Amino acid sequence: MTPFSAKSSGGHPDELLDIVDGEDRVIGRASRREVHADGSLHRAVHLFMVNDRNQILLQRRSQWKADWPGRWDSSVSGHVTAGCGYDETVFREAEEEIGYRCSDPAPVLLIEANEMTEQEWVQIYVEKLTRRPRLQPDPLEVSDLRWWGFDELVEALVNEPDSFALAFRTLFFLWRQTEFVMPEKDRSGWYRLYSEVPDRLQVLRSFLESTGFDASIERDQHWLGHAGHGMFGQRNPMESDLCVPREHLSECIALLYLSEVQEE
């Protein structure tokens, strides 16, 4: 007999979700059951947790889940309920699914709804852990947790794709195209997005600013001499960081890593 709870099928079928359009704007509201039956666009979050050994945590979906039961999936994933936002949802889902309290999940990519995401606009978050957390997975949601090395995971995704949920396969390989970017906050609260020599970063900053986004270049002041010049009459030999505010992070990552402009 299948146990029933609001989570036994990945959420109650009558839970209300926002319906969105092709620009991720809310245009209506319907139950989870109706949204999936009609193929309406809606919202979801996925969180990738990476430990200090450069391993990513995956959860194996419970056999009670309606979608992709028994398959490996993101560390955390879930629908955005009606009236809620992406940020609120990732904190809630992490605690509900695996008993984890997020610290600073960085929104790295916002993926447009398509068949590979099962008509979901997906905000991908990444959280870099400094120590291994104590996790308490909900058995109705999660049957197993496992830390994977990146090379090991890529090999498994290529050789055994049916062992993984469809959306996770899509999202992981998109994140891979960003070279597994994991932004961290700088002293001002902006996120370090790209490290390079200063001249190269000036080009990238100009590109971002030309598209309407704020960006700054953070340099290690301990290596700078008078008036910002490098010590001993030379330019700063250290790499600098390109930083952007949180509200622009996903779009800037997409521009720098996934657009054709970056290749030119």
pTM value is 0.88
Q: Which amino acid is at 69?
A: P
Query: Over the stretch 58-70, which tens digit does the pLDDT of each residue have?
Result: 999 999 888 899 9
* Pair 48, 150 in one domain: yes
In a domain, 4, yes or no: no
The pLDDT mean for the chain works out to 88
Give the total number of structural domains in the chain: 2
Do 162 and 198 belong together in one domain? no
* 35 and 42 Cβ atoms separated by less than 8 Å: yes
- pLDDT 10s digits, 101-140: 999 999 999 999 999 999 999 999 999 998 889 999 999 9
CB atoms closer than 10 angstroms to residue 157:
18
Q: Does residue 166 fall inside a structural domain?
A: yes
Q: Cα–Cα distances in Å, from 165 out to 9, 60, 88, 147, 256?
A: 15, 9, 23, 17, 27
Q: Which residues of the chain have pLDDT under 50?
A: 1-10, 221-236, 262-264
Q: What's residue 224's pLDDT?
A: 41
Q: What are phi and psi for residue 100, nearest 5 degrees?
A: -110, 135
118 & 212 share domain: no
What does the pLDDT read at residue 150? 97
Whole-angstrom distance, CA of residue 226 vs CA of residue 161: 56
User: CATH number of the domain that 86 lies in?
Assistant: 3.90.79.10
- CB neighbour burial string for 205-235, b if at least 16 within 10 angstroms, e if fewer: bebbeeeebebbebbeeeeeeeeeeeeeeee
201 in a structural domain: yes
DSSP 10-60: SS-TT-EEEEE-TTS-EEEEEEHHHHHHHT--EEEEEEEEE-TTSEEEEEE
Q: Domain ends where: 177, 193, 216?
A: 177
Q: Say whether both 158 and 28 belong to one domain.
A: yes
* Same-domain status, 57 and 169: yes
DSSP 64: T
Residue 129 half-sphere exposure, CB side, CA atoms within 13 Å? 21
Residues 27 and 104 in one domain: yes
Residues 232, 158, single domain; the answer is no
Tell me the three state secondary structure of residue 114: coil
The domain of 247 spans 184-263
- Based on the fold, state whether residues 144 and 212 are members of the same structural domain: no
What is the rounded distance in angstroms from the CA atom of residue 80 to the CA atom of residue 121? 10
Point out the domain boundary residue: 177, 195, 211: 177
